Amino acid sequence: MSELPSAVDVVVVGGGNAAFCAALSAAEHGVSVLVLERAPEDESGGNSRFTAGAFRCVYDGVDDLQALMPDLTEQEISVTDFGTYTEEKFFDDMGRVTEYRTDPDLCELLVTRSRDTMRWMRGKGVRFAPIYGRQAYKIDGRFKFWGGLTVEAWGGGPGLVDALTASARKNGIQVVYEARATALIADDDGVKGVRVRHQGKTREIAAKAVVLASGGFQSNTEMRTRYLGPNWELAKIRGTRFNTGDGIKMALDIGAMPTGNWSGSHAVGWDRNAPEFGDLAVGDNFQKHSYPWGIMINADGERFVDEGADFRNYTYAKYGRVILMQPGQFAWQVFDAKIIPMLRDEYRIKRVTKVRADTLEELVQKLEDVNADKALATIMDYNAAVMTDVPFDPNVKDGRGTKGLAIPKTNWANTVDTPPFEAYAVTCGITFTFGGLKVDTSAQVMDTDGQVIPGLCAAGELVGGIFYFNYPGGTGLMSGAVFGRIAGSSAGAQAAAKK
Ligand SMILES: Cc1cc2nc3c(=O)[nH]c(=O)nc-3n(C[C@H](O)[C@H](O)[C@H](O)COP(=O)(O)OP(=O)(O)OC[C@H]3O[C@@H](n4cnc5c(N)ncnc54)[C@H](O)[C@@H]3O)c2cc1C
């Protein structure tokens, strides 16, 4: 087991994507870097390890994608419409989903540095692949990517964390597991190190600069309920149990400025019987993200949201909250035989809460804790309202909606009338919290007087001000990488200057 040094140039707190990007970037300044990961090695990597590894990044065409994925074959290119994801589109998406609250300076960095940061990560040994299947459907022999999400890390989240860890080791960065930072050591001149609990002992490590990349506070029931509000203690945690807000608290304790959407979070529809925290053997497969093709029914037997308001990439992160607010904090997603073959892979795992029936009457009886008569009436009313004259096309917002319902469905409205029928029970699974620390454009943490705290940088989930209310899929990893790289560079430069 790796021993803790008593002094190092840069300490990085956390062991996920943001932390490793910060560590690799700091090391480019020729300084010594120590990564402190609270989790044991087999649970290390934070939420980043739980992901599918999807990155939202700018590309202006296939050339940009080939630069990231040189293994892309001519055959793949010939049968795929990759489209583009321009800076303008990324800005639009961030503005729209955050209701124009996103910090314009941080958003600009996120968007304009995304392409270059992906290339930098590739240079550090991370491999990428196109997200066939989840983000592109094959129609008439051609794939078409939609929703601005085209690239994933090779091997998903585990592959990403393993590649970053290997790269860190290759670059002489020391990684210590089961090392929990508990406080920042600071005086009037700024941050001078961290206090750490490791193998049952509390130690101090002197450092010229510290990067906090230890995630949000979603895994802390008390903070979650205090800041997000009633019922949030009842949500399940999709990912790591280790993101309990330590980094945020440590920084606030020395006068850092809180900012952003402290009552907001990324939260999705997640298997009703999933465990309290994420399970690495299942990864993100407790999520149930094919709801845009079906309908969702609550305990009262009613629909409660426009399942087809937009591509799942732009609605899934806010619908967890909507499900949490339903009676009993659950919903059933209902599909018929027309859609069942299209359901995402995550619907076919063993640990799934699912019922199946050959008639709608039988199906509604099987929906546990639901008003069956009302549910049947809801499905019938919905079926009668579907604009069946508009063709269904999952690759575009097809405008096949409903007419005359109090809660409309805007796109992909398919009748639920062809047996067999299936239904899946979901509750709210929280991914990460949106409120956090205020940073400037060099990822340095600001204090409540609006001044930079010397020697303290931050990146990843614990940075506030980027996401409000909602989130475009694949942006968490991109944000962690962009701001991790910037934070590491700032910390590395500060440490190098003090040498
Ligand atoms: C199931 C799931 C699927 C997801 N899918 C995607 C996706 O496909 N694409 C995407 O962009 N985003 C996805 N996300 C969101 C994404 O995981 C996060 O936005 C991103 O990984 C955050 O990176 P981070 O480095 O800030 O935090 P993390 O990866 O969570 O890392 C935080 C680290 O800090 C450590 N830590 C905590 N406290 C301390 C302490 N006191 N001392 C030392 N270490 C500490 C933790 O152990 C952990 O290693 C998903 C999340 C989940 C849960």
Distance 351 CA to ligand 1 centre (A): 23
pLDDT of residue 134: 76
Where does a domain end: 400, 428, 456?
Answer: 428
Report whether pLDDT(404) > 90: yes
State mean pLDDT over 383-392: 97
Whether 356 and 461 share a structural domain: no
For 136-151, how does the pLDDT look when each residue is reduced to its tens digit (9 = 90+)? 778 788 888 888 899 9
Whether 338 and 287 share a structural domain: yes
CATH code where residue 307 lies? 3.90.700.10
Q: Tell me whether residue 258 is in a domain.
A: no
Which of the residue ranges 47-61, 80-94, 122-136 would you say has the lowest mean pLDDT? 122-136
Report the nearest-CA residue for atom 4 of ligand 1: 51
pLDDT of residue 99: 97
> What proportion of the chain, given as a percentage, has pLDDT over 70?
100
Whether 386 and 470 share a structural domain: no
pLDDT of residue 212: 99
Distance 483 CA to ligand 1 centre (A): 14
Average pLDDT, the chain: 96
Which of the residue ranges 74-78, 133-137, 259-263, 405-409 would you say has the lowest mean pLDDT? 133-137
What is the band of 53 on the pLDDT scale with cuts at 50, 70, 90? very high
Whether 126 and 45 share a structural domain: yes
pLDDT of residue 427: 98
- Whether ligand 1 lies within 6 angstroms of the CB of 128 is answered as no
- Whether ligand 1 lies within 6 angstroms of the CB of 215 is answered as yes
Q: Tell me whether residue 245 is in a domain.
A: no
Distance 77 CA to ligand 1 centre (A): 32
Report the nearest-CA residue for atom 18 of ligand 1: 476
Report whether pLDDT(1) > 80: no
Where does a domain end: 409, 428, 447?
Answer: 428
Q: Tell me whether residue 357 is in a domain.
A: yes
Indicate which atom in ligand 1 lies nearest the CA of residue 44: 49
For 332-350, how does the pLDDT look when each residue is reduced to its tens digit (9 = 90+)? 999 999 999 999 999 999 9
Enumerate helices (H) and strands (E) in the chain, giving the number of each. 13, 22
- Which residue from 477, 479, 483, 485 has its CB within 8 A of the most atoms of ligand 1, so it is best to mutate? 477
pLDDT of residue 141: 85
Instruction: For residue 214, give Cα distances in angstroms to 12, 151, 424.
Output: 9, 25, 33
What is the band of 39 on the pLDDT scale with cuts at 50, 70, 90? very high
Q: Tell me whether residue 253 is in a domain.
A: no
Indicate which atom in ligand 1 lies nearest the CA of residue 287: 1
Distance 314 CA to ligand 1 centre (A): 20
The domain containing residue 449 runs over which residues? 7-217+438-498
Q: How far apart are CA 216 and CA 485, in angstroms?
A: 19
Residue partners of 73: CB distance under 8 A and separation at least 6: none
Report the nearest-CA residue for atom 15 of ligand 1: 476
Q: What string of DSSP letters covers 255-298?
A: TBPEES-TT-EEEEEEETT--SS--TTTTTTTB---GGGSEEE-
Report whether pLDDT(111) > 70: yes
